Chain A
Amino acid sequence: MNRLIVALLCGLLFGAGMVVSDMINPARVLAFLDVTGAWDPSLAFVMGGALIPSSIAYLIRRRLDAPVAADAFHVPESRRIDLPLIGGAVLFGVGWGLVGLCPGPALAALTTGAWQAFAFVAAMITGMAVFRLTLGRET
């Protein structure tokens, strides 16, 4: 099976999921994060729904020596909780809480033509490049 076709197909499902779940709308995400305001539980249903097939797949993986179309699994195996992990999660949490966009929904929102999505994604890619040139130089 062609891995590029599989990547395209999985991207297609993921992108459709962003729209169907309404995670493409930052106001809905912020309403979930706003637990003391008019709370909207949608994001919890998205997470719960996503974890069903995902968990089953990771259980199946334990019985497989290799994936169907590749030589080996490339799944992160580290168990170390360190400063980069926590520092990165803190920064991501601040940015996510400020705007209501995380990477998946931000990319999906580009397709609506909203200028805000283009500004956010351009800045996000710049932030990734800045990481690559600074703390991510050697990794």
Chain B
Amino acid sequence: MSPEPLSFVWPLAGGLLVGLSAAIYLLVNGRVTGISGLTATAIGLARGSPRTLGFGFIAGLLVGAALASALIRRPEVQITSDLWLLIAGGLIVGFGTRWGSGCTSGHGVCGLARLSPRSIAATGVFMTVAGLTVFVTRHVLGGVG
């Protein structure tokens, strides 16, 4: 399933919002905006981070997404995965992001910005593996995802 073509202005503007969020959170609260870490913190699965901040950030994320959907851009969520694929994917994303200490936001947006060698390595690996996974499911096996 291919989404409708999208002007680059939307992803660029959305990316700037995400980067602005990371910038303010770093300079004011002194922390990285890694969503896997903040999620684990919010639900009490991470040590050493203040739970209320994780909870506040995730609550804000949900409100921000709802407000932007109502006021700026009505999103379309196209998912073809069946229940079992969603469960399998969710489980390994949850486990993997905690084991690897981050996801697209923590390693990608914050880690690359500060040229962290760990984040550069992690981002290179998960981007490559995700690309290979899509190649196998779409072009080798044919239409799983």
**Chain A residues proximal to chain B, CB less than 8 Å:** 1, 3-28, 30-31, 33-38, 40-58, 60-61, 64, 66-70, 72-76, 78-81, 84-104, 106-112, 114, 116-117, 119-132, 135-136, 139
Contacts and interface: CB of A to CB of B under 8 A. Distances in A.
B3 A40 contact: yes
Contacts of A100: 79, 81, 145
B105 A103 contact: yes
Interface residues on B, range: 35 or more
Given A54-B113, A84-B100, A131-B99, A96 B130 contact: yes
Is the contact region of chain B dominated by helix, strand, or loop, or is it mixed?
helix
Nearest to A80: B118
The secondary-structure label for the interface of chain A is helix
A19 B27 CA distance: 24
Instruction: Tell which of B47, B98, B139 has the most Cβ of chain A within 10 Å.
Output: B98
B12 A48 contact: yes
A79 B19 contact: no
B131 A33 contact: yes
B92 A127 contact: yes
20 contacts: A10-B24, A13-B17, A13-B64, A14-B22, A14-B61, A17-B15, A18-B14, A21-B10, A50-B16, A57-B22, A68-B28, A86-B125, A92-B97, A92-B126, A94-B133, A95-B88, A111-B66, A119-B86, A123-B94, A139-B47
